[in-house]
Amino acid sequence: MHQARQNRTNRDARAILSDPLVNKGTAFTEEERDSLGLHGLLPSHVSTIAGQIDRRIAVLRAFSTPFEKYAFLRDLQDTNETLFYALMAQYRSELLPLVYTPTVGEACVRFSEIYRRPRGLFLSYPLKGRLRQILADLPFDDVEVICATDGERILGLGDQGAGGMGIPIGKLSLYTDCAGIDPARTLPVLIDTGTDNEAHLDNPLYVGWRHRRVRGADYDAFIEEFVEAVRERWPGAMLQWEDFAGPNAVTLLDRYRDRLPSFNDDIQGTAATALAAVLSAERLAGIDLAEHKVLLFGAGAAGCGILALLVGELEKRGLSRDAARRCIHAVDRDGLIIEGINVAIPGQALVARPSAEADEWLSCGRAPRLLETIERVRPAVLIGTSGQFGAFDEPVVRAMANHNERPIILPLSNPVTRSEAAAADIQAWSDGRAIIGTGSPSNGAHGAVTQVNNVYIFPGIGLGVLVSGATRITDDMFAEAAKALASLQPEGSGDAMFPPSEQLAAVADCVALAVCRVAERDLGAIPPLDGWENAIAKRRWVPAYRDALPSAQS
């Protein structure tokens, strides 16, 4: 009898040490070790979380490559989440490029190499018809934020199949680090409908469903089953669509945004971050956006989202829709987008040059390309969402500098291997006059170069939705989030458009407040008696160890 009880205690102790949400490692106190049966399973030393942080950062810095550091951090997250987030909070600027862009791109490509422990849900197409039961059987009762991808368009790297799971894991890590969302209430999801990536299909280590991508009606039905299962299991949970291919991204957003609180970060989060950068850069350059031209290069789903918010911002400044549209031009793979000539997706029609101007624009027998358009339009702002490495070459940058004292140039594509230009090159070719924002951290540049990353927007969106109880995530929430971020432009920091990453928690609070106010104004959300600000502060999860004894005695 005693032996059976001892065996059960040992199993419980090992389960505690294997649960990343409750494991404290060497920080378990002597009393906790006595009560939980942990003696002998841990070294003698009782550490503080500060001591553990010192130990982990020393080990991390001993690795030579970002990918090795990423793998180390993922292992720490899977063994001790409190310590992982405490480390993130203390060394955010150092760890952010490892946990997310740019390193997460390589991590997705090599996901199968380092897969070790279960995290989140892998819902593969052969499970169709069983998703409700699978979700019902899960032990996750309090999920509030879900990030889901099908892995087809990971950053600028294309189809990574099951490897795309690295993106939801990374995004939700930032929800916790920046917005204080309890990690126990987050859920990454990989909707595995196959892959068309030959390298993964031929790789014996690949962990996903080894099958060509399911498309059409079968794909739609599987997504529908997933959404309905989520609504039934976690009513009111917020769903973030992430890294779906362009047509699916737009379709899924339109189809489900009214059925559950959901948004697409590649479309709406990117648009809000880009708008915030433009608003900040506008002040730095001393110009009025309504009196200048904006040129977007790469009018896919993300680019069209930016176009929509820009037009909306100009309309709010008093311009008619037609006047706002005249301020913005877009160039895609077939040149300047012209109505009736080369509009490929519905979102492009918003800023397509009118068909009445077609003859003027087609005078050389085709739509003008990027450099030709710059010379004719003379934009003050150039935004890149094309994924075409090096598209903003020296002639393009010099043309922007020739027409503007302070050209605003934003090569936003990720990862670095897909960026339209390096910040250092833009600085050199513009004689140091350009105001620059990049999608990935800038290397080799001098002075203030802003990383225009969605991490400045989406954590605060999620926090605001949860605090306000919003049942719908509206476009105006993103517009107001962008203005809130732009209002935080650092004083005395040169050309920096956003606060430094060390202040991302404060940024998330500011964005969340803007979301709550839109929810109150447009959706009837009722503010708490002590105000939205206090409600946001109270909502934050803090990475600190809790006393393990009460749960053990209950």
Query: Is there a single domain that holds both residue 295 and residue 213?
Result: no
**Confidence (pLDDT) at 416:** 85
pLDDT of residue 348 exceeding 70: yes
Tokens of 234: 């976690």
Residue 501 has pLDDT above 80, yes or no: yes
Q: Is the pLDDT of residue 203 over 70?
A: yes
> Is there a domain that residue 519 lies in?
yes
- Candidates 139, 229, 242, 124; CA nearest to 188 is 242
**pLDDT value at residue 4:** 41
Report the CATH number that the domain containing residue 13 is assigned in CATH.
1.20.1370.30
What type of residue is 14? Answer: R
Position 383 scores a pLDDT of 98
| Dihedral, 178, 182, 186, 188 alpha carbons, nearest 10 | 50
At 552 the pLDDT is 41
For the question of residue 171 being annotated catalytic, the response is yes
Q: Are residues 63 and 10 in the same domain?
A: yes
Domain-located, residue 352: yes
Residue 546 falls inside a structural domain: no
Residues across the chain: 554
Boundary of a domain, candidates 54, 78, 94: 94
Identify the pLDDT of residue 549. 78
Number of structural domains (the chain) is 4
* Mean pLDDT rounded to a whole number for the chain: 94
Q: Is residue 9 part of a domain?
A: yes
pLDDT, tens only, 250-267:
999 999 999 999 999 999
Q: What does the alpha-carbon distance between residue 382 and residue 396 come to, in Å, rounded to a whole number?
A: 10
| In a shared domain, residues 447 and 489 | no
Q: What pTM did the predictor assign? A: 0.93
Residue of 551 and 453 predicted with greater confidence: 453
Label residue 392 by pLDDT band (50, 70, 90): very high
What sections of 110-213 are H helices per DSSP? 111-114, 131-137, 166-179, 198-201
CATH number for the domain spanning 340: value is: 3.40.50.720
Mean pLDDT, range 349-368, rounded to an integer: 91
Are residue 183 and residue 282 in the same domain, yes or no?
no
- What average pLDDT does range 78-93 have in this prediction? 97
Whether the per-residue pLDDT at 5 is higher than 70: the answer is: no
- Indicate if 403 and 486 belong to the same structural domain: no
Lowest mean pLDDT among 5-19, 328-342, 450-464, 496-510: 5-19
For residues 434 and 463, membership in a common domain is answered with no
At 12, the pLDDT band (50, 70, 90 cuts) reads: confident
Q: What is the pLDDT of residue 139?
A: 85
Mean pLDDT for the stretch of residues 359-371 = 91
Query: Are 275 and 294 members of one domain?
Result: yes
Res 444 pLDDT > 80: no
- Catalytic residue, from 100, 175, 206, 456: name it: 100
> Does residue 252 sit within a domain?
yes
Pair (178, 202) in one structural domain = yes
286 and 435 share one domain = yes
Task: Grade residue 7 by pLDDT with cuts at 50, 70 and 90.
Answer: very low
Domain that holds residue 65: 2-94
Token look-up 């513009």 returns 430
- Residue written as tokens 């699916």? 248
User: Of 50, 78, 94, which residue constitutes the final position of a domain?
Assistant: 94
Q: Tell me: do 237 and 143 sit in the same domain.
A: yes
- 153 and 273 part of one domain: no
* 544 lies in some domain: no
Confidence of residue 11 (pLDDT cuts 50, 70, 90): low
Reference 144, options 239, 232, 260, 225; nearest CA is 239
Segment 181-186 shows an average pLDDT of: 97
What is the C-alpha to C-alpha distance for residues 102 and 451, in angstroms, rounded to an integer?
A: 11
Place of tokens 């009898």: 1
- Check residue 107 and give its pLDDT: 96
In a domain, 391, yes or no: yes
Q: What is the CATH number of the domain that holds 138?
A: 3.40.50.10380
248 half-sphere exposure, CB direction, 13 A CA radius: 24
Q: What's the confidence (pLDDT) of residue 440? A: 82
Which of 24, 69, 171, 293 is an active site residue? 171
Torsion of CA 465, 469, 474, 475, to 10 degrees: -30
Which of residues 401, 431, 452 is at a domain's end? 452
Residues 491, 360 share a domain: no
pLDDT value for 550: 54
Q: Is residue 545 part of a domain?
A: no
| Whether residue 8 has pLDDT greater than 60 | no
Residue 128 appears among annotated catalytic residues: no
Distance between CA atoms of residues 70 and 75, nearest Å: 9
The confidence score (pLDDT) of residue 2 equals 41
